[in-house]
Each structure stands twice: as structure tokens, then as C-alpha cells.
Amino acid sequence: MGRYIKIFDTTLRDGEQSPGASMTLDQKVEMAEALESLGVDVIEAGFPVSSKVQFEAVRRVAGTLKTAAVVGLSRCVKKDIDITYEAVKDAVHPMLHLFIATSPLHREFKLKKDRSQVLESIATHLDYARQYFKRIEFSPEDASRTETDFLLEVIKTAIAHGATTINIPDTVGFSMPDEFGELIEKLVSEIPEFQSGAVDLSVHCHNDLGLAAANSLAAVKAGASQVEVTLNGIGERAGNCALEELVMGLEVRRDLYNVDTRIQKEYLYPTGKLLQNLTGLLFQRNKPIFGDNVFTHESGIHQHGVLAHRETYEIMNPNTIGRHSESLVMGRHSGKHALQEKLRQYNIRLSEEQFQKVFERFAEIADKKKEVYDEDLFSIVSNVLGGTIDGYRMPYFHVYTGNTLIPSATIKLIEKDEEYIASATGDGPVDAVFNAIDKCCHITTRLEEYIIQAVGSGKDAQGQVKLMLEIEQELFAGKASSTDIVEASALAYLNAVNRYVLKRLSNGHSEADEQESQMAEATGKSRTK
């Protein structure tokens, strides 16, 4: 057994900040359960103070998980800490993630604070948080661009005031692996609590220069005891260190690192595919570990080598990460037991109500297609879990199109007890449906992205549509699938519109909280426990 490395997953917080990666409450809970089954130690469920929706998502995840620690993010603002406690207090292992920026750039231009004021804020807010939390992670934001002497002072202050984990973020992906490794090595040598294991030393690397995994691996080699990751590497800008890349890097090069994690590697690929279908953020074909091309060999020399001995051109066995060449083909005669077995194999846990909806949708697809493949199943689960967004529903639509007439569409939407019917023309049937939806909802939109992808294979394959709408200068993602591509397009469009409606309904809360939090940070005032 090697040294143990904790895996801190922030897919539901930092990962969801990717444009188009937002999930419904049910999707977040499902993803959290899948991550827990995968074996992650800590799950950062969200930023509770930012909105009612974020608060409720963190609260539900905290009340659902059985083994993983559940973390809420908080600024050095007492109101943030209060609300985070309310969100995670029902967790088996509740935890706070407190942060403040420390680099010269951030101190001068964002915080407007000098060194002493930053240190005072850290001490004050950690002291305040200790009345609620036994486990507290503290992050000096933009640590990799913070003066080393001040960073050491920040860390010592945080530990003295109760931090149980210190996280070193490479917030903008600025560091090089050698440089980042040297920083972690220096911190370990200077801080006795890191040497003894009394306090965990964590790292959080972004991928702006494509070095998030390399920097994280360098940190492990230098003595870090925890790594913060996202599944599929999703996250702000270029994303975060990908969980699967870190874990398989440590596994394949065990000769260099000699460390262990709790990750159940056979669930890696199925869990990554689940997240892909929930968010609609597709793998690049050449993405490390998960891409379609990773275990595909076109070159004759490579094919000959792999057939003779797999390790000539493959450093990983696809079965190790749950990538199986066989696909359980199901049809209209497949029963609930076969479906439950396939969901179990893919690390998908559903409530009885959710499973019944999945089975009903599966039966509908099976009636339309001769065979239902794994990709169809992921799509069905994604649609069921994503179907709980409040807003408009579409009982029916009709389109008229052809090469000798102007395409037109008529659509009926229902919101609560109100019905809306509208007709519109367009450049094609999909455009006509979109225009009719805009009329029904009385909104003006701009289509920023529209992607169609076949789910599975064959002429009868489902079509999955992922799109991005700009509404009131904000982007909203939508995704849906159907054997009818026009219907899939309409449902995806409506999904994005409903996200806009949901955001509009929660805006009053989040804007008011933001103003109050800013005032609290400026004045040092907050409601007490």
C-alpha cells in the first residue's frame, strides 16, 4: 500500500460553472450519488449563498449522501458561512470551504485590501466558522501568483485559527509543473502540520495552459495529500484537472508515485458518460482516457502490434475503467430486471419513481426502434432527470415543410394553467418551431450553438440536440433527444427557455443576497447564529 491521496470532487460547483453545464436538482443529486459510488472522498456541492437554487441543491445533496463529505463554498463573509451551514448541516460529514484572494493583483484590484487586512479577515472568519464546522478547508485564491513569504503567513494564520485542510489553487492555470511542484515541496518543508498529516495539503489546478493534470501530479509527488478535480475536466474557462486523468496517471505510473485512492476505476467511464449526457458537454474524440479514439487503432502497424500484444500501443486496459466492447442490446421484450441490471452496471441509482419513468421512456423507444443500445439508455436517464425543470411544457407541435413551400410550425405550450398557441414561419422546420416558441413565450432569443448528434447507430437512431440560447445577454443551455429530430430540437430549445425562466424567478433572491453579502464584507456586520 502506498501513501493515500484524497480525491476532492468539485464537478457540481466549479464544473457546473462551465457555460452550458448547469444541471437540475434531480440531476445534481444523481451525479452526487454516482460520484460517491465512484469513491470520491469529498464532494463540493455548490455555492449556497449565490441563489435559492444553489442552496437547495447543496441541501439535497447533503441530505442524500452516506459516506462522502459534503462541502459548501463560502467567501470570507459571515452571511456566507451562516447560509452554507444551513445548507450542509444534515450531511453525514458537513464541511466548509472558505476562501479569500491573496495575490497582489487580487488584493489591489478586487479586494482593495492590504496584507494585514487579508490576514485579519482570515482569522476573523475562521474563528466565526468554527462554531459551526469541525472540518474547514481554506483556500488562498490565486495562491500560485501570491508572494511565497505572504502565502506561508496566510497558511500559518489559517491553521492557527482552525483550518483542517489548506488548498493551494492555481486559479488561472498559470503555473508550470516544475514550478508548482517546487512550491508544494517548500510548503511541506515549512509547515510542520503538513509533515505530520494533522492538516491536509490540497491542490486545485485549472487547465488554461493544458497543464492541470501535470501540475496536480507534480503536487502529489511533492507531498500533497489531496487533489481537487472535476469529472471529464469540466469547469470555468479551459476547465479543471480531470478526475480520470489524475487517477489513471497515478495508476499507470505507480512506479513513480506509489499512492492509492479510493476510486473504483471500473466506474470511471460509465460515470463520465453519465455526466456527458446530463450536461450535453461532449467528449472530444481524442480526449485522454474517455475519447472515442483512445482505444482505436487505424494504422496497420499499430493494429498488428495490439493484436500481437495489447501493451505495445495501449498503456491502459479499457476494461479497467469500465469501457466494454460489448453493449447490452435491449428491445421491447426486455423486462425491468434487465434494465435494472444495466443501470447497476453503469453506476446509475434511481428512485422508484425515476426508474418507472425511465422504463416507460425505454418502452416508448423500444416500440419505435428494433434495438435499444447503451447510448440510448444514457440519453433516456438524462432526459428523465432533466425533465423536472419548471416552466413551459409542449403538448403538441405541427410542422409543414418542403422544397416548394415556406416552412411553418404551430405549437402549443402550457405553463401552470395557462395555454399558449402560436404559429410562425422560418428558414426550415426547426427554425419555424423556434420562432413559434419565441412567440408563445414573448421572448427574443439568439441561437449561439446548435449541435445534432446521433445516439447509437443505425438509420433509426435517436437524435440528440444540444443548443445554447442567448436571452437578455445571458447564455442558457438546452438538451433533448428523440427519434424525431424536429421534436428533439423543440424540446432542447424549450429546455433552455425554462432555464431562463427558472433563473428569472430566482434572480430577486440572488441579487439581494449579493448586495447584502457585499455590504456585510464591507462593514464586517452579519446576523449572528
The domain boundary residue, chosen from 230, 255, 280: 255
Regarding pTM above 0.85, the answer is no
- What residue has cell string 435494472? 340
Both 357 and 417 in one domain: the answer is no
Q: Supply the mean pLDDT for the chain.
A: 87
Q: Are 14 and 59 in contact (CB under 8 A)?
A: no
Both 348 and 212 in one domain: the answer is no
Q: Is residue 369 part of a domain?
A: yes
- β pairing state of 462-471 and 446-455: antiparallel
Both 342 and 413 in one domain: the answer is no
The domain boundary residue, chosen from 255, 287, 305: 255
The domain boundary residue, chosen from 323, 351, 386: 386
288 by Cβ neighbours in 10 Å (0-12 / 13-18 / 19+) ranks as middle
HEC letters along 370-433: CCECHHHHHHHHHHHHHHHCCCCEEEEEEEECCCCCCCEEEEEEEECCEEEEEEEECCCHHHHH
DSSP three-state, residue 48: helix
Both 377 and 419 in one domain: the answer is no
Both 397 and 500 in one domain: the answer is yes
Q: Is residue 294 part of a domain?
A: no
**Taking each helix axis from N to C terminus, what angle separates 374-385 and 25-38, rounded to the nearest 10 degrees?**
130
Both 440 and 366 in one domain: the answer is no
Q: Is residue 213 part of a domain?
A: yes
Both 380 and 472 in one domain: the answer is no
- Which region, left, alpha or beta, applies to residue 184 given φ > 0 means left and ψ of -120 to 50 means alpha? alpha
- β pairing state of 69-75 and 226-229: unpaired
Both 424 and 380 in one domain: the answer is no
Both 378 and 497 in one domain: the answer is no
Amino acid at 439: K
Q: Is residue 310 part of a domain?
A: no
pLDDT tens per residue across span 132-174: 999 999 999 999 999 999 999 999 999 999 999 999 999 999 9
Q: Is residue 362 part of a domain?
A: yes
Domain hosting residue 454, numbered range? 389-514
Other CB atoms within a 10 A radius of the CB of residue 290 amount to: 21
Q: Is residue 353 part of a domain?
A: yes
pLDDT of residue 510: 43
Both 18 and 141 in one domain: the answer is yes
Both 236 and 133 in one domain: the answer is yes
pLDDT of residue 527: 34
In which residue ranges of the chain is pLDDT below 70?
Answer: 1, 20, 296-313, 324-334, 369-371, 386-390, 456-460, 505-529
pLDDT of residue 435: 97
393 contact partners, CB below 8 Å, separation of at least 6: 413, 414, 415, 494
Q: Is residue 34 part of a domain?
A: yes
CATH number at residue 250: 3.20.20.70
Number of independent structural domains in the chain: 3
pLDDT of residue 109: 96
Q: Is residue 128 part of a domain?
A: yes
pLDDT tens per residue across span 298-316: 444 444 454 554 566 578 8
Both 101 and 236 in one domain: the answer is yes
* Helix, strand, coil content of the chain in percent (nearest 5): 50, 20, 30
